[in-house]
Structure 1
Amino acid sequence: MNNVVAEMLLTTPAPAAIWATLWILTLPAVLVLANPEAMRNPGEALRSLARFLRLPAGRGERKREAALEALAATQFAEEVRVAADRAALAAERWHERWEASTDEVTEAWQAWLDADARLRVRRAAAAFGTPWSAQTPTEYAARERFLHKAVRTAAGNGWLPAAAVADALAGRAGWDARLHPLDQELVVFRAAAGHLRDRYERAVAAEKTARHDATLARRTSDSLRQEAWIAAERATGLRRLVPARLSITAPASEPAVAAVWH
C-alpha cells in the first residue's frame, strides 16, 4: 500500500500538489491544537501566528522604505547644497557690484564739488561785468567758436553729456552763441554743475538699489546654507538607520555654514 501511494505521488503531480496544499492549510490548526494555551483563545493564537509569518516581510519592507527615505533625503541635501553654493556666488557678485556703486557715488560727489567750486569762482568774476566789444560779424563768429570749443571741452572732461555738443552746434537747449565769452563760460559752468549734480543723485539711487540687492542676496545665501546644513544632518541621520547592505552613498561634499557679512 505504501509503495502504491509513493508511486502515485512520484508519477502523478496533481495529487502531490493537493496533498501539500492540505498540509499547508492545516498547519495553523495543528499549531493551535498543539498549544494548550492557544486552545483557550484560538483567535488570538491565529493572529499571533499571522504576525509571526508576516514579520520577515514587514521588516524587509521597512528596511526598503528606510533606504528609499535616506536616498531621497541625500538627493535633496545635495540639491540644496548646490543651490546654496550658487546663491553664495551670486551674493559675492552682488556685493562687488555694491562696492563698485559706492565708489561711483564718491567720484560723482567729488566731481560735483569741483564743478560747484568752478561755478562759484566764475560767478564772483561775473560780478565785475563783461568788457565791451564791438558787435561785428567777426566778433559773433569768434563767440560762436568759443562756445563750441567750451562745450566740447566740458563734454570731453565729463562735465557735460555728449548730447550737449550737438545742442550747442545747433543753438538749442539754451545755448546762445551771441553771448559774450565770459557769459558763455558762466552758462557752461552752470550747466556742468547741474549735470554733475544729477549724476551724483543717480549714483546715490543706484547705490541704494545695489545695497538692497546685495543684502537680499546675502540673506538668501545664508538661508539656503542653513537649510543645506539641516538637510545634510537629516540625511546623515537617516543613512545611519539603513543596514550596511543597503547603504546610501553620501554626497561628495557636506555643506558648511557660510560666513555672514557685517
Structure 2
Amino acid sequence: MQTVFSAVLYDVPQAAVIWLALIAVAAIVIAALIVRPDWFRSVFGERISEAARPSSLELAAETRERSRERARFAQEVEVAAARAAATAERRRAEWLAAQDEVETAWQAYEAAEEDVRRLAAAAALPLPRTARTPAEYADRERWLHRAATAAQERGEITVEQLSDILQHRGWDPRRHPVEQELLLRRLIRDNVRARHEAAQERERAAWRAAELAAAAARSLRQEAYAATRPDLERQNALSIVDLTGPETTRELPTPARAESGSTARGRAAVPAF
C-alpha cells in the first residue's frame, strides 16, 4: 500500500507540468485569437476555399462546355440574323414596288384631271342644238352605255357603277354627250384619286414594315457579332468601363419623315441588306 501511494505521488508533478503546458498553449491560442483574429481567419478561409474550389479537370470541362454553348448560340444567332436580313431585303423590295405603284397612280390621276379640265372647258361653250326627238334620246342613251361599258372594261369604273349607269340611277341619258362624257370623266377621276390614296396607304405600311425589318436585322447582326467574340475581350471591355466610370447616355436624333408631293420622296430610305 505504501509502495503504490509512493508511485502515485511520484507521477503527480509530471502530470501537473503537462496540464500547465496545455493550459499555457490554450492561453496563447486564445490570446492570439483575441489580438490578431485575421491570422486564423485567413488560414482557415484559405483551406475552406481550397476544399470548395473545383479541380483543374473540372475547370477544363466547364470551360469546354461553355465554349460549346457559346459556339452553338453564336451559330443560332447567325442563322437568325441571315433570315432577318433576307426578310428585310424582301420588305425593302416591297416598299420600292409600292413607291412605283404610288407614282403610277399619281400619273394616272394627273391624266384624268387633265381630261376633266379639257372637257369642262368644252362644256362651258354653247352646245350644238339638236332635235329633241325620241331617236336623238335613244342615240344619246346608246352612246352613254357604250362609253360606260368601255370604261368598265378598261378598269376605270367598277361593275356597280356601270350597273348604276345602265339602269339610270343618278344618270340622265337625255343629256348631251359632251355633258355625259364630262360626268363620266369626273367619275373616273374620283376612282383614280381613290386608288392613288390607297396606294399611298400601302406604301406607308410597306415602309413601316421595311423599317422594322431593317432594325431587327441590325440588332441580330450586332448580337451575332457579339456572340462570336471571346469572353476575354468582354471581360477587358467591362474592366475598361469600370475604370473609366459610367458614360452619359445620349439619345440619337430621329430622322425626319417628311412626305412631299404624291410619293414619299422625303422619307428616310430603308438601307439595303
Q: Same fold (TM over 0.5)?
A: yes
What displacement does 1:69 show? 1.5
Match of 1:206 in 2: 202
Q: How does 1:4-15 map to 2 (within 5 A)?
A: none
Any unmatched runs of 5+ in structure 1?
1-40, 239-258
Give me the whole-angstrom Cα distance separating, in 1, the residues matched to 2:43 and 2:118.
109
- Whether the 8 Å CA contact 1:73–1:235 is kept in 2: the answer is no
**1:18-43 residue CA offsets vs partner (Å, 9 max, x unmatched):** xxxxxxxxxxxxxxxxxxxxxxx999
Paired letter, 1:221: A
- Helix, strand or coil: the match of 1:233? coil
- Helix, strand or coil: the match of 2:71? helix
- Whether the 8 Å CA contact 2:88–2:214 is kept in 1: the answer is yes
- Whether the 8 Å CA contact 1:123–1:186 is kept in 2: the answer is yes
**1:118-161 residue CA offsets vs partner (Å, 9 max, x unmatched):** 11110111111332333333222222211111112223334323
Q: How does 1:1-262 map to 2 (within 5 A)?
A: 58-172=55-169, 174-234=170-230, 260-261=271-272
| Larger CA deviation: 79-88 vs 229-238 | 229-238
Paired letter, 1:170: Q
What displacement does 1:45 show? 9.0
Query: What root-mean-square deviation, in Å, do the aligned CA atoms of Structure 1 and Structure 2 show?
Result: 3.1
Give me the whole-angstrom Cα distance separating, in 2, the residues matched to 1:224 and 1:103.
30
Any unmatched runs of 5+ in structure 2?
1-38, 235-269
- Whether the 8 Å CA contact 1:105–1:200 is kept in 2: the answer is yes
Give me the whole-angstrom Cα distance separating, in 2, the residues matched to 1:145 and 1:215.
52
Per the normalisation by structure 1, the TM-score is 0.66
What displacement does 1:100 show? 0.5
- State the identity as a percent: 37
- Helix, strand or coil: the match of 1:129? coil
Count of paired positions: 200
Per the normalisation by structure 2, the TM-score is 0.64
- Whether the 8 Å CA contact 1:74–1:235 is kept in 2: the answer is no
138 and 63 in structure 1: CA distance in 2 versus 1, 3 angstrom threshold: same
